[in-house]
Structure 1
């Protein structure tokens, strides 16, 4: 014989619990299920965020590598340009010194030429 139709089970404390009959228990189960579903949704969303952030990290690491390479190349070019500038400045100083030397020589030769003209002018005229 079955004496009752309700579903009963033993709790860990040995007390008899009624399933699906008490509205408070049903509300608690709905709340717990809703919380579990909310937490599952948040977990999925967090995992998606983690994946997106990992992709961003990978992308940014690639950018850092490219920027470091570009910076190293720029420094190399800068060093080469500085060396070229020093070389050109030496050449400029050398050329300016040569110009100064040639102008002094030209001035000296012009003075000698004038002296020769004066000398010829005085000896040619009686």
Structure 2
């Protein structure tokens, strides 16, 4: 009986050692996967930071472009108003010139 008990204990010890080896392997593999995941997290956090910085910069550029567009539209309205004013002045001056020519021709024909 003692021999059977010894064999049983040896068998239990082998099973325990096998389980310990399996758990050590699983632990090692899990630690390796955690390391990989931590590297991925770091890489992704870096990407998020870069994308956030790019988005912030894009928003800043967009705001600057909108301000520039408003400024150019104001300048365009001012220029168009000035053109309209100059065209009216030119038209008025052309009419005055034609009137003066007509008066001169009338005056010359009376002489």
1:66 corresponding residue in structure 2: 50
Kindly tell me the number of residue pairs found equivalent between the two proteins: 109
Q: Tell me, yes or no, if structure 1 residue 110 matches structure 2 residue 97.
A: no
2:69 corresponding residue in structure 1: 85
Q: TM-score, normalised by structure 2?
A: 0.83
Q: Which structure dedicates a bigger proportion of its chain to strand?
A: 1
Q: Tell which structure's C-alpha radius of gyration is larger.
A: 1
Instruction: Provide the secondary structure at the position in 2 that maps to 1:18.
Output: helix
Q: Which runs of 5+ in 2 are unaligned?
A: none
Q: Which structure dedicates a bigger proportion of its chain to helix?
A: 2
The root-mean-square deviation of aligned C-alpha atoms, in Å, is: 2.3
User: Quick one: which of 35, 41, 50 aligns to 2:25?
Assistant: 41
Larger RCO, structures 1/2 (Cα 8 Å, 6+ apart): 1
Runs of 4+ in 1 over 6 A off after TM superposition: none
